[in-house]
């Protein structure tokens, strides 16, 4: 077994362990998310995979991502009204979106924000923290 098929086999077993039937398309979408930590949109995933999977549709990408969310494999990022992104890293962390280059990067903050007394008696299921502005690169150019 070569390393590519080994990775694919590992991903396949992982999806199965989460109750997801590892179809070819689902495996390809999952691998894309693992290998491209760019918080992609449905469109980005579709554009990157459609030549390799000619039968792929945006609806399939969308439905697969929703299945992954339901099984808590990924999380949804809503930073803009018109743009939903997806993140394979479901641990608590924030994001920064550059208003110039459009890149979304991870910001790992201290957990203190989660421990606020103001949130006592609330049952928190999701925490989202994001910043908008200019990233390091674009700040340096501006």
Sites of contact with a second copy (CB under 8 A)? 76, 78-81, 84, 96, 99, 107-110, 112-113, 116, 118-119, 121-136, 139-140, 142
Please give the Cα distance from 120 to 3 (Å, whole number): 48
Shortest Å distance, C-beta 103 to a second copy: 11
- Cβ closer to a second copy: 21 or 118? 118
- Cβ closer to a second copy: 52 or 110? 110
Shortest Å distance, C-beta 99 to a second copy: 7
- Cβ closer to a second copy: 34 or 141? 141
CB 44 within 8 A of CB 57: no
CB 8 within 8 A of CB 24: no
Please give the Cα distance from 134 to 68 (Å, whole number): 31
CB 106 within 8 A of CB 91: no
Shortest Å distance, C-beta 53 to a second copy: 26
């Amino acid at each position: 077994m070569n390393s590519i098929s080994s990775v694919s086999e590992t991903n396949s077993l992982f999806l199965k362990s989460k109750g997801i039937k590892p179809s070819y398309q689902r495996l390809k979408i999952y691998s894309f998310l693992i290998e491209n930590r760019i918080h992609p949109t449905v469109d980005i995933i579709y554009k990157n995979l459609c030549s390799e999977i000619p039968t792929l549709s945006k609806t399939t990408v969308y439905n697969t991502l929703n299945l992954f969310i339901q099984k808590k494999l990924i999380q949804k990022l809503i930073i803009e009204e018109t743009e939903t992104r997806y993140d394979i890293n479901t641990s608590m962390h924030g994001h920064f979106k550059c208003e110039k280059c459009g890149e979304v990067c991870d910001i790992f903050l201290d957990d203190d924000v989660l421990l606020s007394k103001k949130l006592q008696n609330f049952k928190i299921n999701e925490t989202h923290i994001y910043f908008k502005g200019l990233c390091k690169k674009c700040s340096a150019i501006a």
